[in-house]
Amino acid sequence: MLITELVLHPIAISDPPLRSSYGLHAPFALRTIVELKTDSGLTGISETYGGDGPLAGLEAVRQRVTGMDPFQLAGLSRDLTAEAAHEMETTPAGGRTQTYLVPGENPLDRYARTFAAIEIACLDLIGKAVGKPVCDVIGGRVRDRVSFSAYLFYKHGVFSGPEDEYGEVLDPRSCVRECRQMIARYGFREIKLKGGVLDPDVEILTLRVLRDTFGPAYPLRIDPNCAWSIETSVRVGRELKDELSNGGYLEDPCATLEGMAEVRRRLLAENNSTPQASNVAVTYFADVPRAQALDAVQIVLSDPHYWGGMRNVQYLSHLTSVLGMGLSMHSNSHLGVSLMAMTHVAAACSNLTYACDTHYPWQTAEDEIVQGGRIPFVNGCVQILNRPGLGVDLDYDQLARGRERYARIPYRKRDDEAEMRQHVDPAWKRVLPRW
Ligand SMILES: [Mg+2]
């Protein structure tokens, strides 16, 4: 089986006005759907970041991929790793941190992102060729269903057009309402709040009200995307000691591994062992042992899209296990192909210690591009179906609508700061730490 064609579908999907420390989500999120056609008649698919940058990265490997055997991925990995290493050498120290960039937008991750998009489509092909689900192709599942968390956001009401199902959420009470709606619909059993948006005292109150409402059976985590100083991080960690215990965590409270290590030291000195997770200070393999040595991060957030594919996430699962660390999964706005890639790899990670993140509840059936529509959740979990590959096929009518939407809009790169200036605060600039 040889790859005969790489087909790229740039699409746009509706996205609600969600807030984070970066700013505001634009009304459209950008994705790229990848198809690898082969001489066997099988087609492999994947979903990755959208817009000009990711598209250019994939275009750059078009020739390299055409004619490739999808079973032989190591050569492509070697070549892209070498290009990434060259770029690392020529980038000033510290240039790799994602702190000031929207997750997944780090230019130094582009080789890993490009490889991941190709690898996942190849694994889908291999699964289809051998008649096995991808999770079993990559070594076998350790679970049949994968648990995801309720990913809560503070958000505005929709600025133009019909209101979304969650409405405005800018205080603790409405956040509880959002959580109730999400849990009623999806059955999630863990709760994550995207913080760094409102005054830390309001966010502390939000977590307290969530705990009072849902009880300790629902572990809580908060992710302010580095919006807090070390001082504020320690204060929030102290105030939320009870709420973040029992399976919760503090995610990227402040910038840098050194900053997080200091927060950890000060909290431990107060007998507060709330673990810290990161998808900002730890974004590739070399970060992991350093994070562990500094005791800055106890839980690494994986993501097949930018960690270099599904098997790299399995390696990360092994590495974190060896180092005595936990593993969870980061997410970006995505549709069903990505959700199934995340589910398959999570199913095949022996060291997965928390429910994974997903933005899926924030997308709608109108935009879904897999046949049969939205992927169902049962009790907060996505089930591995006994189907070959990722187990989903493209709905080409829906895909065409996504492409038309993409062609119609001016967005070609995610820019939450610009969106924030346009709709909320003309003077907005991302400042770290804000509090
Ligand atoms: Mg995060």
* pLDDT tens digits, one per residue of 386-430: 999 999 999 999 999 999 999 999 999 999 999 999 999 999 999
C-alpha of residue 216 to centroid of ligand 1, in Å = 22
Q: Is the pLDDT of residue 259 over 90?
A: yes
* Number of domains observed in the structure of the chain: 2
> Which is nearest to 168 in space by CA: 158, 156, 179, 180?
156
* Residue 93 confidence (pLDDT): 63
**Residue range 203-219: mean pLDDT, rounded:** 98
Q: Is 389 exposed, middle or buried (0-12, 13-18, 19+ CB in 10 A)?
A: buried
Note whether residue 338 is domain-resident. Answer: yes
d(CA 18, CA 21): 10
Residues 161 and 94 in one domain: no
Q: Mean pLDDT lowest for which of 86-100, 147-161, 215-229, 336-350?
A: 86-100
**Assigned domain for 331 exists:** yes
- pLDDT surpassing 80 at residue 164: yes
Structure tokens at 311: 């098997």
Phi, psi of 13 (to 5 degrees): -130, 150
Rounded-to-integer distance, Cα 203 and Cα 298, Å = 23
The reply to whether 433 falls in a domain is no
Rounded to 5°, the CA angle 271-273-278 comes to 145
Strand segments, DSSP code E, in 103-216 are 145-147, 150-153, 191-194
pLDDT of 313 over the 90 cut: yes
Residue 48 pLDDT class (50, 70, 90 cuts)? very high
- Extract the tokens encoding 210: 């969530």
Give me the pLDDT at residue 127, please: 98
59 and 199, same domain (yes or no):
no
Residue 95 reports pLDDT greater than 90: no
> Is 330 among the catalytic positions?
yes
> What per-residue confidence (pLDDT) applies to 400?
98
pLDDT, average across residues 136-140: 98
The predicted structure's pLDDT at residue 97: 67
**Residue at 165 is within a domain:** yes
**189 and 113 share a domain?**
no
pLDDT at 161: 87
Report pLDDT for 245. 85
Residues 184 and 119 in one domain: no
- Predicted confidence at residue 102, as pLDDT, reads 73
State in Å: Cα 278 to ligand 1 middle: 6
Same domain, 115 and 141: no
Could you tell me if 111 and 242 lie in one domain?
Answer: no
The pLDDT tens digits for 268-297 are 999 999 999 999 999 989 899 999 999 999
Distance 306 CA to ligand 1 centre (A): 13
The secondary structure of residue 394, as a DSSP letter, is B
pLDDT at 101: 73
Same domain? 116 vs 263: no
Residues 151/359, Cβ–Cβ less than 8 Å = yes
Residue 103's pLDDT is what?
67
pLDDT at 85 over 90: no
Q: Rounded to whole angstroms, how far apart are CA atoms 51 and 61?
A: 16
Strand order, beta sheet including 28-38? 3-14, 28-38, 43-49
Q: Do residues 190 and 380 make contact, with C-beta atoms less than 8 angstroms apart?
A: yes
Taking the centre of ligand 1 as the mean of its atom positions, its distance from the CA of residue 251, in whole angstroms, is 6
In this structure, is residue 185 part of a structural domain?
A: yes
pLDDT digits (tens, 9 = 90+) for 320-367: 999 999 999 999 999 999 999 999 999 999 999 999 999 999 999 999
- Structural domain includes residue 71: yes
Start-to-end CA distance of the chain, whole Å, equals 55
Kindly give the distance from the C-alpha atom of residue 280 to the centroid of ligand 1, in angstroms, as a whole number.
Answer: 7
Share of the chain above pLDDT 90, in %: 92
**Active-site entry in 9, 25, 194, 334:** 194
- The range of the structural domain enclosing residue 100 comes to 3-132+397-408
Shared domain check, 156 and 241: yes
Co-location of 302 and 181 in the same domain:
yes
Mark whether 37 is an active-site residue: no
Given this model, what pLDDT does residue 96 score? 66
Give the model's pLDDT for residue 311.
98
52 and 24 in one domain? yes
- Average pLDDT for the chain: 96
Question: What are the counts of helices (DSSP H) followed by strands (DSSP E) for the chain?
Answer: 14, 14
Q: What is the whole-number distance in angstroms between the Cα of residue 8 and the centre of ligand 1?
A: 28
- Top pLDDT among 84 and 238 is at 238
Catalytic residue among 9, 330, 334, 359: 330
Give dist(CA 218, CA 202) in Å, integer: 20
